Amino acid sequence: MTGTHLLILAVFIVFVIAFIITMLVLNANAKKIISTNSKLVENHNALLERNKKQGDELQKRMSELEEQKSELEEQKSELEEQKGMIEALQRQQEELVEQLKHSTMDEVMVLRKQTHQYREYIEQNADMTDEELMMWIDQKMDETRLFTDSSLTLKTTAKALGITQKRLSALFKNNAKYDSLGDYLNEKRFLLACRLLREEPHWTIEAVGAEAGFGGRRTFQTEVKRRLGITPLQYRQSQAVSGKGEE
């Protein structure tokens, strides 16, 4: 082998060694870069997770604040309603005072009794459970026949019973037996009407419906047919036949 060949071989060997060293250095740098990028990715993911948790906590806090705001608005509404009832009671008292000035002693006693009864209603139902309040309302309805007033609304019923509209509305909203206050009132009217149909055979259908608190004959007819599947007249006739059969 000549000197030229040896020189070429030496250069080639040096080139290969330099190439290998270069590749090793590049590989080491690449590993460092990959490691650095992995750490950056991990840090980025950790930051995203931390931000997500903070976002969830913030959303939860905002929901809690919304609930608190809603509760405060409900309390404010209830307080305003109670304030309205108190103001109505004060106006009623003022009216009673004026009436007292021009009333006889018997009338004075009646007015005082009414005022005392209204106050008593408010005090009695303040701490009642829904079940107790429902029983109390049922008793008062039977005693006073308040349900026979066909113009009753949630507002006028609540006022007559000394209950806030919100409490009365919630009572029937949570009631398993009745869909609404109207459903309850119609049942009371229906039961009274059935009794009158049996016990007052000479009363007209219109008179029975009006006495029970239905706004008109058609409303009365519809309610009885919905509950019994027959008209008020058919019910009266069936009861008359049943009564003769028993005799």
% of the chain beyond a pLDDT of 90: 33
Angle at 78 between CA 111 and CA 71, to 5 degrees: 165
The whole-number pLDDT of residue 74 equals: 66
Q: Which residue among 127, 148, 172 closes a domain?
A: 127
- Residue type (1 letter), 2: T
The whole-number pLDDT of residue 245 equals: 46
List Cβ neighbours of 236 (8 Å cut-off, separation of 6 or more).
197, 198, 201, 205
What are the structure tokens assigned to 233, written together? 């007249």
133 shares its domain with 244: yes
| Overall size of the chain counted in residues | 247
What are the structure tokens assigned to 10, written together? 């030496």
Tell me how many domains the chain contains: 2
Angle between helix axes 165-173 and 181-199 (nearest 10 degrees) is 80
The whole-number pLDDT of residue 213 equals: 95
pLDDT in tens, 105-143: 565 565 555 555 555 555 555 567 888 889 999 999 999
| 78 in any annotated domain | yes
Q: Which residue among 65, 92, 127 closes a domain?
A: 127
The whole-number pLDDT of residue 37 equals: 76
| 23 in any annotated domain | no
188 shares its domain with 203: yes
135 shares its domain with 90: no
Contact (CB, 8 A) for 217 and 206: yes
Which of the residues in the chain have pLDDT under 50?
245-247
The whole-number pLDDT of residue 98 equals: 65
For residue 71, what are the CA distances in angstroms to 163, 167, 233? 20, 15, 51
Question: pTM for the whole thing?
Answer: 0.54
90 shares its domain with 176: no
108 shares its domain with 152: no
pLDDT in tens, 89-111: 566 566 666 665 665 656 556 55
135 shares its domain with 221: yes
Distance CA(184)–CA(186), nearest Å, equals 5
205 shares its domain with 112: no
What CATH number corresponds to the domain at position 246?
Answer: 1.10.10.60
For residue 231, what are the domain limits?
Answer: 129-247
84 shares its domain with 196: no
% of the chain beyond a pLDDT of 70: 74
- Residue type (1 letter), 87: E
The whole-number pLDDT of residue 234 equals: 93
120 shares its domain with 164: no
Long-range CB pairs of 90-99 (<8 Å, 24+ gap) are 92/118
